[in-house]
Amino acid sequence: MSVKHLVQMKKISKGFPGVQALDQVDFDLEPGQVHGLVGENGAGKSTLIKILMGAYKADAGQILLDGEEVEIRNPIEAKRLKLGAVYQDITLAPELSVGENFFLGKLPRSLTGLVKWAKVHGETQTFLDELGIQVSSRSPVRRLSPAQQEMVTIAKIVYEGSRVVVFDEPTALLANEETEQLFDIIRRLRDAGTGIIYISHRLEEIFEICDTVTVLKDGRRVVTCPVEEIDSDTLVNRMVGRNLEDMFVRQTYQSAEDEVLLEVSALTRQPVFEDISFRVHRGEVFGLFGLVGSGRTEIVRSLFGAEKPDSGSVSVEGAAVHITTPAAGIRHGIGLVPENRKEAGLATGLAVDFNINLASYDNISRLGFIDGLAERRRADKYVKDLRIKTPTVRQAVKKLSGGNQQKVVISKWLCRQSKVFIFDEPTTGVDVGAKVEIYRLLDELLQRGAAIVFISSYLPEIMGIADRILVIREGRSMGLVERAQFSEERLLRLASGLEAEARTANSTA
């Protein structure tokens, strides 16, 4: 059976100082195929893609397009060959409008040299509408939510008419609805004969959208097969090299009668959110659910002190936190794992050990000087506990894979021994094995008497991990749901405003 290959990558190898990111990897893509690429954090998925896109140069190996060998020296060449990618990080110009981003570098001009803005925005808008993306072509990109930016990036790639489109963890920032929208777009592309490479840590997505799947482990290809021939457990086993038990490890769920650790009352910051109150008990995971852009992130940022609220109060173990700066929240034992780790969670140019200790240097210093051994010991401990994949603790964080970077942020607060942990989408871009480790860590934190506020747009996750869930819509509480009443439908109805159970929640929380 001879299939016409769109892309063939043969025996691709790539080493970085200290790691062999890819070791003789073969990868094929056919027209109209949706090819899933899975593997643990640091397995080499992004590296393989970046080589195809000309962002990295392979040490060895060949790339064939339509059976002909090509050399893709830089991203511009990849673009010329009609290869497009949506990366893990957003790559739009934030100051420009959506339309300008669409036409970046090729704005249509009239004979007088003026930009034809009507054409730019007209075409962009038509295209966005056609894909069902509710964004105005004229709004500047920085005003859009991360999810909207992601959708715009996807639309732009589709607009450019690429023959191969790569999605590197596209759903990390998306809510259910948008994920569905994305899948529609992918199916459309597939039916038009485009080859699609789809990277994700959410395996059920692989089964839903892909027809073929390739597993990478430690830079080698483990298996390539049609998705019908493999089940979820086998896939995980192939990725991680062992079987994983239950995903959501919780020893016990809370009955919410214990001591209150965190109390938030009537927290308000106009116009983002209003009158938010809740209590989190020792040993409890308190979920905050809402559609992307509902104000969850802003609420936790304010209670942590990253942003000053207009009014309302926060207390930890009964002691009022004077919310002015993050330092105040941290002193009271609050730790925030932010959703945008590169901008807010990490000093990416600095080493792993530095970042792990970043919030705790006051604990390991005397007379202003650091205890270097303690610093090293703590870093080693968390690198080991969370299985952070790095050649040494002195490696700069920016050289780690996405999931490993996230583990470094979590380590920072573990290291600080916070009592109240706020996790804002903590498993974004984290592989299955590490996810289970993170859930297990949450459980361990709870056993040690911590309280956890957990934000996730991913329903199975938040339903699996939380004791109670407060649903937020447009900055207001829509209702507090107890574990016994959890159901996807209920939560989604509340989050989208179809069911109004509001107000009463505040008094009972």
Ligand X SMILES: Nc1ncnc2c1ncn2[C@@H]1O[C@H](COP(=O)(O)OP(=O)(O)OP(=O)(O)O)[C@@H](O)[C@H]1O
Nearer residue to other proteins within complex by CB, 77 or 307: 307
Pairing of strands 220-226, 68-70: unpaired
**Minimum CB–partner distance for residue 405 and other proteins (Å):** 12
Nearer residue to other proteins within complex by CB, 52 or 330: 330
**Minimum CB–partner distance for residue 98 and other proteins (Å):** 25
Nearer residue to ligand X within complex by CB, 197 or 466: 197
- Omega of the bond leading into 271 within 30 degrees of 0 (cis): yes
**Minimum CB–partner distance for residue 395 and ligand X (Å):** 8
303 lines the binding site for ligand X (CB under 6 A): no
Nearer residue to Mg ion within complex by CB, 88 or 411: 88
Say how many C-beta atoms besides its own lie within 10 A of residue 107's C-beta.
Answer: 15
From residue 393 to residue 432, the character string flagging contacts with ligand X as x (rule: CB under 6 A) and all else as - is ------xxxxxx------------------------x-x-
**Which residues make Cβ contacts (< 8 Å) with residue 11, sequence separation at least 6?**
24, 25, 26, 60, 61, 62
Cα–Cα distance for residue pair 98/413, rounded to 1 Å: 37
Q: Which does 431 bind (CB under 5 to 8 A by kind): Mg ion, other proteins, ligand X, none?
A: ligand X
Residue 498, amino acid: L
**Which residues make Cβ contacts (< 8 Å) with residue 489, sequence separation at least 6?**
none
Identify the DSSP state of 137.
T
Question: Three-state DSSP class for 282?
Answer: coil
Which of 344, 353, 362, 342 has its CA nearest to residue 412?
353
214 lines the binding site for Mg ion (CB under 5 A): no
**Minimum CB–partner distance for residue 45 and ligand X (Å):** 3
Q: Segment near ligand X (CB under 6 A), from 34-42, 205-213, 257-265, 497-505?
A: 34-42
Q: What is the DSSP string of 7-71?
A: EEEEEEEEEETTEEEEEEEEEEE-TT-EEEEE-STTSSHHHHHHHHTTSS--SEEEEEETTEEE-
Among 105, 113, 271, 349, binds other proteins (CB under 8 A): 349
434 lines the binding site for ligand X (CB under 6 A): no
Q: Residue count at the site for ligand X (CB under 6 A)? A: 20
376 lines the binding site for other proteins (CB under 8 A): yes
Say how many C-beta atoms besides its own lie within 10 A of residue 334's C-beta.
Answer: 28
Order of strands, sheet of 273-281, starting from the edge strand that comes earlier in the sequence? 273-281, 260-269, 311-316, 319-321
Cα–Cα distance for residue pair 98/125, rounded to 1 Å: 9
**Minimum CB–partner distance for residue 10 and other proteins (Å):** 25
Q: Which does 72 bind (CB under 5 to 8 A by kind): ligand X, Mg ion, other proteins, none?
A: none
Q: What is the DSSP string of 464-481?
A: HH-SEEEEEETTEEEEEE
Task: Name the one residue in this structure whose structure tokens are 């790095």.
Answer: 390
Say how many C-beta atoms besides its own lie within 10 A of residue 386's C-beta.
Answer: 20
Order of strands, sheet of 334-337, starting from the edge strand that comes earlier in the sequence? 334-337, 420-424, 451-455, 285-289, 468-473, 476-482
172 lines the binding site for ligand X (CB under 6 A): no
Among 44, 54, 283, 305, binds ligand X (CB under 6 A): 44
Question: Three-state DSSP class for 243?
Answer: coil
Residue 205, amino acid: E
Q: Residue count at the site for other proteins (CB under 8 A)? A: 39
Among 8, 33, 46, 457, binds Mg ion (CB under 5 A): 46
Q: Which does 42 bind (CB under 5 to 8 A by kind): ligand X, Mg ion, other proteins, none?
A: ligand X
Which of 19, 16, 17 has its CA nearest to residue 51?
16
Cα–Cα distance for residue pair 508/276, rounded to 1 Å: 12
Q: Which does 105 bind (CB under 5 to 8 A by kind): Mg ion, other proteins, ligand X, none?
A: none
- The tokens of 414 are what? 């573990």
Q: Which does 44 bind (CB under 5 to 8 A by kind): other proteins, Mg ion, ligand X, none?
A: ligand X
Q: Segment near other proteins (CB under 8 A), from 66-74, 169-177, 321-329, 491-499?
A: 321-329
Q: Which does 21 bind (CB under 5 to 8 A by kind): other proteins, Mg ion, ligand X, none?
A: ligand X
Among 345, 403, 464, 475, binds other proteins (CB under 8 A): 345
Among 163, 269, 281, 389, binds ligand X (CB under 6 A): 389
* In contact, 453 and 422? CB cutoff 8 Å: yes
323 lines the binding site for other proteins (CB under 8 A): no
Cα–Cα distance for residue pair 9/63, rounded to 1 Å: 5
* In contact, 366 and 374? CB cutoff 8 Å: no
From residue 439 to residue 478, the character string flagging contacts with other proteins as x (rule: CB under 8 A) and all else as - is ----------------------------------------
Pairing of strands 260-269, 311-316: antiparallel
Cα–Cα distance for residue pair 35/212, rounded to 1 Å: 5
Between residue 398 and residue 417, which ones bind other proteins under the rule CB under 8 A? 399, 412
Q: Segment near Mg ion (CB under 5 A), from 180-188, 228-236, 380-388, 396-404?
A: 396-404
**Minimum CB–partner distance for residue 472 and other proteins (Å):** 21
Q: Which does 362 bind (CB under 5 to 8 A by kind): Mg ion, other proteins, ligand X, none?
A: other proteins
Cα–Cα distance for residue pair 44/40, rounded to 1 Å: 9
**Minimum CB–partner distance for residue 156 and other proteins (Å):** 25
Which residues in this chain contact Mg ion in the complex, by CB under 5 A? Answer: 46, 402
**Residues of the shown chain interacting with ligand X in the complex, contacts defined by CB under 6 A:** 16, 19, 21, 39, 41-47, 389, 399-404, 429, 431
Binding region for other proteins (CB under 8 A): 16-17, 304, 306, 325-327, 330-331, 336, 338, 343-350, 354, 357-359, 361-362, 365-366, 368-376, 394, 399, 412
